[in-house]
Amino acid sequence: MVAYLDYNATTPIRPEVIELIGRVLREGGNPSSQHACGRNARKYIEDAREQVANLVNYKSENVIFTSGATEGNNMVLQGHEGPIAVTDFEHPSVWNVIDGDIKIKVRPNGLIDLEDLDDVINLKNPKLISVMAVNNETGVIQPIAQIGRLCREKGILFHVDAVQAAGKIEIDFERWHCDFLSLSGHKCGAPQGVGALIFRSKTPVPKLIKGGGQERRQRAGTENTASIAGFGLAAHMAKTELSEFKRLGAFRDQIERTIEKVTGVMIHGAGTPRVYSTSCFSVPNTDAQTLMMQFDIEGICLSSGSACSSGVLKPSHVLKSMGVDDQMASSALRISMGWNTTQSDVDAFLSAWQNIKP
Ligand code: PMP
C-alpha cells in the first residue's frame, strides 16, 4: 500500500472526473463543428467554463482554457512589456520567464515583504506585478487582496498564480483586484495538461499560441474537450467541498507534533497563514533526497523541496528567499494532502518516520 502525500505536485484525479472524461472521449466530436456531435462537445466546454468561472467568482466569458498554468503564466508574462515585478518565491513558470526584471523581497516567514513592495511600486514603476496566492512548497497564503488593491490604486496590472489556492482557500477575482489569474487542472482533481487563464473584462489578453479562432480567438488549437470537461467538474467539486478542506489541518498538526520532537527541526512558514494541507520542514544534518528515497521504500510518496524542479538537485529557491541557509534548504521535505487523504495515510507516514528515525 502506498500513502500518497504529494498533492501539491499533482492530485489524484477524482473518480467522478475520470468517469466524465471517459464519457466525453467516447462521445467524441470537435467543439467547432456545427453538427450535433460538435454541439455536444461544445456544451461540455461551455459548462466547464461556467464551473471554472464559479470557482474564482468571476464571469465565464473571461475564462480561456489553456494547457496548464505554465501556459497561462507565460501568456501574461511574455505578453507584456516590462518592467515586470515578481517575488522571489514564484514558480519557475513565472521567474524563469521574466529573468532580469524586478524581484520583490520575501520575509523569513514566507510572506511577501510589503515595505519592499511599496518601494518597488513607488521607485521602479512596474507595469505588471505577479504574485502567487499560495506557495507550492510552504503552503503560505499571501495577502493577495491587499497587494491587488495597491496595484489597482497605481494602475499596475496584477497577475495571480492561483494554482495552489484552488480548492484550498476561497478565490475571488474581483475582491483580489486581479487582472489575470492562472489555474491548473491537475492541482485540483483534474488531469494534467489542462488549465485556465482568467482575465479582467476589457483587459487585452496577449496571444501566445496563434492559429485558429478557438477560445474566442484568444488561444488557438482544438480544445482538449475531455480534460476541459473534467477540469470543470473538478473545479465544481473543489468549490463545493471547500469547507471540508479544514479536516486536513488535524492531520497536518498531528504530523508536525511528531516531527517537531527531533531537535532542530524547522517548520517553514509555521505561525504564518498556511493552507491546511501542506507542511514543509527541514531536519538538520540530513539530505532531503536521501530521506525522500527512504520514505519511498517505506511506501510514502512525498517530495523534497519542490517536485516541479525535481531532478535538479539545488536547494529550494523558495526557502532561500526566506533566508533559510543552504544546508537547511537542502534538507527540506514537503508533505501535501488533499481530497482523498485519510487517517491511514497519516498513520503510514508516522510509522515510516519511526522506522527511518531522521
Ligand atoms: N504555478 C504553481 C504554483 C505550481 O505549483 C505549478 C505546478 N507545479 C505551476 C504553476 C505550473 O502548472 P502546470 O503544471 O499546469 O503547468
Each residue's pLDDT tens digit, 26-37: 999 999 999 999
Grid coordinates belonging to 299: 511506501
* 40 CA distance to ligand 1 middle (Å): 30
pLDDT at 176 over 50: yes
Q: Distance between CA 163 and CA 184 in Å, rounded? A: 5
Atom of ligand 1 nearest to the CA of 308: 8
Burial label, 344 (beta-carbon count in 10 A; 0-12, 13-18, 19+): exposed
164 Cβ closer than 6 Å to some ligand 1 atom: yes
Q: Please tell me the residue having the least CA distance from ligand 1 atom 12.
A: 69
Burial label, 203 (beta-carbon count in 10 A; 0-12, 13-18, 19+): exposed
pTM of the model: 0.96
* 162 CA distance to ligand 1 middle (Å): 9
* 286 CA distance to ligand 1 middle (Å): 27
131 contacts 87 by C-beta, under 8 angstroms? yes
Q: Is the dihedral of CA 221, 222, 223, 226 positive or negative?
A: negative
pLDDT at 308 over 50: no
31 Cβ closer than 6 Å to some ligand 1 atom: no
Res 95: pLDDT: 87
132 Cβ closer than 6 Å to some ligand 1 atom: yes
To the query of whether residue 280 is one of the catalytic residues in this protein, the response is no
**C-alpha closest to that of 90 among 112, 68, 107, 57:** 112
Q: 304 φ, ψ to 5°? A: -100, 120
The share of the chain scoring above pLDDT 70, in percent, equals 97
Grid coordinates belonging to 164: 495552489
The predicted-structure confidence for 220-245, as pLDDT tens digits, reads as follows: 999 999 999 999 999 999 999 999 99
91 Cβ closer than 6 Å to some ligand 1 atom: yes
308 Cβ closer than 6 Å to some ligand 1 atom: yes
55 contacts 195 by C-beta, under 8 angstroms? no
162 Cβ closer than 6 Å to some ligand 1 atom: no
* 68 CA distance to ligand 1 middle (Å): 7
